[in-house]
Amino acid sequence: MSISDDFDPLAYVKATAPLIGLSLTPERVAELAAAFALVRRVATPALDFELPADAEAAPIFTP
């Protein structure tokens, strides 16, 4: 699930913000892109982690 080296946080934020109803000025797009780049940086060890195929998700729903 690694992200390719040419990932562009600015373009990603600009493209996905409307999906959640978020409208941003160009200045805010840049600020949010920096915040998203930090999320990606800290998340990298998880994104690069090779999981065993049988690893189930943790949440337990009790009806």
Partner 1 sequence: MNDLAQMTGQEIVAAIKGRHTTAVAVAEAALARIAERNGEVNAFTSVTAARARAEAASVDASLARGEDPGPLAGVPYAVKNLFDVEGEITLAGSIIERDAAPKARDGFAVRGMRAAGGVLVGCLNMDEYAYGFTTENSHYGPCRNPHDPTRIAGGSSGGSGAAVAAGLVPITLGTDTNGSIRVPSSLNGIWGIKPTYGRLSRAGSVPFVFSLDHVGPFARNVADLACAYEAMQGHDPEDPAQARRPADPVSALLSHAFGGLRVARLGGHFAANGQPEVHAAADLVARMLGGSDVVTLADAAAARAAAFLITAAEGAQQHLPDLLTRAADFEPLTRDRLLAGALVPAQWVLKAQRIRSHFRAQAAAVFADWDILVAPATPSAATPIGQEWLEVDGGKIPLRPSFGVFTQPISFIGLPVLAAPVQNAAGALPVGVQLIAAPWAEASLFRAAAELERLGICAAPVAPGFA
Does 8 participate in binding partner 1 (rule CB under 8 A)? Answer: no
Q: How many residues bind partner 1 (CB under 8 A)?
A: 31
Name the 3-class secondary structure at 60: coil
- Single out the residue of 2, 5, 20, 25 in contact with partner 1 (rule: CB under 8 A): 20
Q: Are 48 and 1 within 8 A, CB to CB?
A: yes
Residue 8 Cβ vs partner 1, minimum distance, rounded to whole Å: 13
Does 47 participate in binding partner 1 (rule CB under 8 A)? Answer: yes
Does 11 participate in binding partner 1 (rule CB under 8 A)? Answer: no
Q: In which region does residue 21 sit, left (phi positive, over 0), alpha (psi from -120 to 50) or beta (all else)?
A: left
Name the 3-class secondary structure at 17: helix
